[in-house]
Structure 1
Amino acid sequence: MEKIYNEHANTVYKFLYTKTQNSDWAEELTQETFYRAIKSIKTYDGSCKISTWLCQIAKHVWMQELEKKSKYKTENISDDMVSSEDSIEDKLVQAEHKIQLIKALHFIKEPAREVMYLRLLGDLSFKEIGDILGKSETWSRVTFFRNKCEIMKGDYYE
């Protein structure tokens, strides 16, 4: 299991970071993912890549945590929210651009949307994305490029 952890921990972390956008939370969920993987290693049947199996576990862990957090609706103030060199105007413009991009991504159908999220928000390589989704690196590249072109046309923006 240590070998599996060393080979796949970074991929699982990046996958979870795309979901959480919080490094501490992604790290915590990564640890929980591997804990659950150890407990259920006997159920792994080899029908998919180990990285795909781990990311499936990670997705379930993340969704369970979201359910827990939604019950309490607490929001933590992070250090970077308090102190920043960017002006308020710059932050507002960046936030608006991010909102427009996320709105555009919302209209893309799965699994292409997942490719876009993993690449843009998770900074995963096309190979890692292909491994997670059970597809090839080329498929990930082509899917990303086609959807990027669609978004850049501006058809999705208000």
Structure 2
Amino acid sequence: MEDMQKVYQQHAQTVYKFLLAQCRDPGLAEELTQEAFYQAVRSVDRFDGSCKVSVWLCQIAKHLWYQHLRKRRREAPVPAEELPEAPGPSAEEGVLEREGRMDLLRLVHGLPETQKEVVYLRAFGGLSFREIGDVFGKTETWARVTFYRSKERLRNGGGSDEE
């Protein structure tokens, strides 16, 4: 395999964006990105070249993200009164904004897994369609079509279960 420093330079941003789309926390995304590359170095001998390096790295990152979620579920949640207050809009504006965002997130969450991930990667992670295609081992066109179909499904309130 290529020199790992070169691999890091070429693919760190893609892995970071992938993770940021999943967790929406820049600090956690950076931490998981570093861990993904550490795991890649440890398991480089198992990389068989059957997929692109970026896909392999994002698979490692996805596995780490799922591990993080399992660990977080086991830990006790932080009580709301201990969370810091963030300055923001008025209470009424905040409620309306949160409700709208929650409605959209509920709709996105109801999408089939592949469509949901494509929407997260594009909308929240800022990945290009080419990068999304690479993550899934598909084409840029596939990513564009999947994102478009997901948007149409969201506009129609969820729609059918076809993927």
- TM-score, normalised via structure 1 length: 0.87
SS in 2 for 1:142: helix
Gaps of 5+ in 1: none
Answering whether residue 96 of structure 2 is matched by residue 93 of structure 1, we say yes
Q: Which stretch has the larger CA shift, 48-57 or 105-114? A: 105-114
Q: Indicate whether 1:11 and 2:14 are aligned.
A: yes
1:112-152 CA deviation, whole Å, 9 max, x = no partner? 22111211221211111111011111111111112212212
Residue 139 of structure 2 corresponds to which residue in structure 1?
A: 136
CA distance in 1, matches of 2:23, 2:150: 23
1:120 lines up with 2:123 in the alignment: yes
* TM-score, with structure 2 as normaliser: 0.85
Q: CA 1:17/1:44 → structure 2, altered by over 3 Å: closer, same or farther? A: same
Report Cα offsets for 1:7-55 as digits up to 9, x if no partner: 1101111111111111101101110000000000110001011111001
Q: CA RMSD in A?
A: 2.0
1:21 aligned residue: 24
Q: Which residue of 1 aligns with 2:44?
A: 41
Distance in 2 between the 1:126 and 1:32 partners? 25
Describe how 1:38-117 pairs up with structure 2 within 5 A.
Answer: 38-75=41-78, 82-117=85-120
| 1:82–1:133 distance in 2 versus 1, CA, 3 Å | same
Please say if residues 121 and 132 of structure 2, whose CA atoms lie closer than 8 Å, have aligned partners that are also in contact: yes
Gaps of 5+ in 2: none
Shift of 1:155: 5.0
Task: Pick which of 11-20 and 146-155 moved more.
Answer: 146-155
How many residue pairs match? The answer is: 154
Identity of aligned residues (%): 46
Contact 2:88-2:94 at 8 Å conserved across structures:
no
Rounded Cα–Cα distance in structure 1 between residues aligned with 2:14 and 2:149: 24
Change (3 A) 1:40 1:93: same
Cα deviation for residue 76 of structure 1 reads: 9.2
